[in-house]
Chains A and B, each alone.
Chain A
Amino acid sequence: MSLDRAEVEHLASLVRIGLTNDEIETLRDQLSDILEQFQVLRELDTRGVIPTGHAGNLATVMRDDLPGDCLTVAKVISNAPRTEGGLIRVKAVLEE
């Protein structure tokens, strides 16, 4: 199992992580090595096995919808890099 450079670049664009040339090369080698380790799973016959998504055995948990205290707007946005008038300021999503 080995990845080529274009696949690494495609993955990086999907996860919105900028990478330098060196990082792309390093990740190509390392991810290929790691994927190679995963091939061991092919030994196991899993036809018909129900997948486990979670460690617990919980069904959907419900609670009453009761009003309670909540954080102030100032607190909620207190860690935002850019704010304006109690709002988070973002870069333009739609370009002209």
Chain B
Amino acid sequence: MAELWQLTIQEAHQRLLRREISSVDLTRACLDRIGQVEDRVKAFVTITEMGGLQQARAADRRIAAGDATPLTGIPVQIKDLICTRGIRTTCASRMLENYIPVYDATAVSKLLDAGAVLLGKGNMDEFGMGSSCENSAFFPSSNPWDLARVPGGSSGGAAAAVASGEVTYALGSDTGGSVRQPSSLCGVVGLKPTYGLVSRYGLVAYASSLDQIGPIAQDVTDCALVLNAITGQDPKDSTSLPKPPGDYIQALTGNIRGLRLGVPEEYYVEGMQTGVRAAVAKAIGVLESLGAMVVPVSLPTTRYALACYYIIAPSECSANLARYDGVKYGYSYQDTDNLLEAMEQTRQHGFGMEVKRRIMLGTYALSSGYYDAYYLKAQQVRTLIREDFARVFQEVDALVTPTSPVVAFPQGEKIGDPVQMYLIDVCTLPVNIAGLPAISVPCGFAQGLPVGLQLIGPPLAEATLLRIGHAYEQATEWHKARPEL
């Protein structure tokens, strides 16, 4: 019999409905699990034990009243970049170390309305900038499969918490791979929705044209359940899209016969580990055996996506992070009467090195004299990348690629070299540039560490991606593997 903290959302929901367990039991089991492993995994910036237990008791009353949703009474961790009313939201930055939002993000409101039990806030790379969780201003998180290795990033705390059973699922955010890459490195499922499908209201802005909130869960079905709850048009986010008709659970038919899957050769980059290549090749074979038609495709602009992203994202970041001036909220250097010096000192001490690097890079790319060569050029390349995807999606229903060219790497290995760190996201960045949906599902191991398979679809093809991922899970056991802790 599985421990309560090992249950998926749908398993826990069934047992809650049958009254075999209560939400308080489940919540205490997760809190106990946090007590056992958190000093090693370090996935949480803040743990909300009291609030969580209160929500669990409310959930139990709701279940008793016959008013339960699939998420009622189920423990969740929220990435610390997503605002939670009355609960410190730090973005893993000194700048917001003591910031307490006075409102909930729309995605959080929707989860709370569904009866979620919020157990705390997930560690991350500062403001979402990083691929290893080592850029947290507080402490790095560890990969539950090997504590000396990174969990990925930037939603590293979220993926590590789900993989280690501290929570049943989590919400992360994905600007260039920040949901999918840590999910891949920790052996869990992470979905980056189509740009606009989930409201960004209350998601602290990093790069607004790329940011998107997404679920991290133990399997594809759980991702579908969370996605059902958090989508929908929001008057508070003018870029949000109407909720598509239907239910993502209905998409999980197990049948992918006749679907056309494209394998873009350009994603098999130099430096990709052979174990990753082998695991993904085997997974593609499984999809073929399930009746999908696999065809090679070409996305020639892929090799420009990295440069395009690292111009656009820092440019937007340099504008978005101008708001941290030590005046309205956040860290504030007070030891001077000079306004400009106060701002410079506030931003010097409040931001970490990666954040400073991206603000300066973006400002450079936007400055007169360089604007045409960098920012405008990158926006034009963005058009070409989108057109490339649009062209292949006339031929195929989805693309199949590795999520990350490497498995979880040792802490400290890449943190000193930004260019090496940026290369980790080479398979995930193009998706954000084009605003597409993509999911990472576990597809095996290399060097004893999880490998993720990425499925990319045209805009609003979440149902197709979930269907493929679910069918793959039915044929394999990888998603059931959990680390020994």
Interface, chain A (partner B; CB < 8 A): 8, 11-12, 14-19, 23, 26-27, 30-31, 33-35, 37-38, 40-41, 43-44, 46, 49-56, 58, 61, 63, 71, 75-76, 78-82, 88, 90-93
Q: List the 8 closest pairs (A to B, CB-CB), nearest first.
A: A55-B435, A51-B379, A79-B329, A81-B332, A18-B348, A55-B195, A46-B380, A18-B344
> Which of B98, B339, B343, B360 is most buried by chain A, counting CB atoms within 10 A of its CB?
B360
Contact in complex: A33, B435 (CB < 8 Å): no
Is B304 in contact with A31, judged by CB distance below 8 angstroms? no
The answer to whether A17 touches B347, judged by C-beta atoms less than 8 angstroms apart, is yes
Q: B102 is contacted by which of A14, A16, A78, A88 (Cβ under 8 Å)? A: A78
| B140 touches A (CB below 8 Å) | no
- Asked if B377 and A41 make an inter-chain contact with CB atoms under 8 angstroms apart, the answer reads yes
CB distance from B450 to the nearest CB of A (A): 28
Contact B382 A52 (CB under 8 A): yes
CA distance A91 to B376 in the complex (A): 37
Contact A71 B209 (CB under 8 A): no
Say whether, besides A41-B381, A55-B209, A15 and B342 are in contact (CB < 8 Å): no
Q: Which residue of A lies closest to B211 (CB)?
A: A55
Contacting residues, chain A, for B235 (C-beta < 8 A): 63
A80, B353: Cβ atoms closer than 8 Å? no
A56 to B437 Cα, complex, angstroms:
12
Query: Is B303 a contact of A40 with CB atoms below 8 Å?
Result: yes
B199 to chain A, nearest CB (A): 13
Assuming the contacts A80-B328, A90-B327, asked whether A38 and B307 have C-beta atoms less than 8 A apart, the reply is yes
What total of chain B residues lie within 8 Å of the partner, measured CB to CB? 72
Known: A19-B348, A38-B307, A79-B100. A56 touches B359 (CB 8 A): no
Q: Are B238 and A18 in contact (CB under 8 A)?
A: no
Asked if residues B419 and A41 are in contact (CB atoms below 8 Å), the reply is no
CB of B288, distance to nearest CB on chain A (Å):
31
Separation of A26 and B352 alpha carbons in the complex (Å): 13
- Distance between Cα atoms of A82 and B341 in the complex (Å): 17
- Give the residues in chain A near B190, CB-CB below 8 Å: none
Asked if residues B347 and A15 are in contact (CB atoms below 8 Å), the reply is yes
Minimum Cβ distance to chain B for residue A72 (Å): 9
Determine if B383 and A51 form an interchain contact, defined as CB atoms under 8 angstroms apart. yes
Contact of B327 among A37, A50, A58, A88 (CB under 8 A): A88
Residue on A nearest B331 in the bound complex, by CB: A81
**B326 interfacial by beta-carbon distance below 8 Å:** yes
Is B418 a contact partner of A34 (Cβ separation < 8 A)? yes
B356 at the interface (CB under 8 A from A): yes
Q: How many whole Å from A81's CB to the nearest CB in chain B?
A: 4
Bound CA span A55–B363, Å: 21
| Residue B378 lies at the interface, judged by CB distance under 8 Å to chain A | yes
**Residues of chain B in range 334-356 having any CB-CB distance to chain A below 8 Å:** 334, 336-345, 347-348, 351, 353, 356
- Kindly state the separation between the CA atoms of A61 and B339 in the bound complex, as whole angstroms: 37
| Contact residues of B between 191 and 214, Cβ < 8 Å to A | 195-196, 209-210
Contact status B351-A33, CB under 8 Å: no
Give the residues in chain B near A40, CB-CB below 8 Å: 303-304, 307
Pairwise interchain contact A17-B304, C-beta atoms closer than 8 A:
no
**B103 and A71 contacting across the interface, CB-CB below 8 Å:** yes
Kindly name the residue among A8, A17, A49 whose own CB sees the greatest number of chain B CB atoms within 10 A.
Answer: A17
A75 and B239 contact, CB distance less than 8 A:
no
Query: Contact string, B304-346, partner A, CB cutoff 8 A, digits 1/0?
Result: 1011101100000010001001111111101011111111110
Interface mask (B144-155 → A, CB under 8 Å = 1, otherwise 0): 000000000000
Q: Are A56 and B364 in contact (CB under 8 A)?
A: no
- Smallest CB–CB gap between A7 and chain B, Å? 8
* A-B CB contact pairs (8 Å), 22 listed: A8-B360, A16-B340, A16-B347, A27-B360, A34-B357, A34-B422, A37-B310, A40-B304, A44-B380, A44-B381, A51-B382, A56-B195, A61-B239, A78-B102, A79-B98, A79-B99, A79-B330, A80-B329, A81-B329, A82-B332, A82-B334, A91-B337
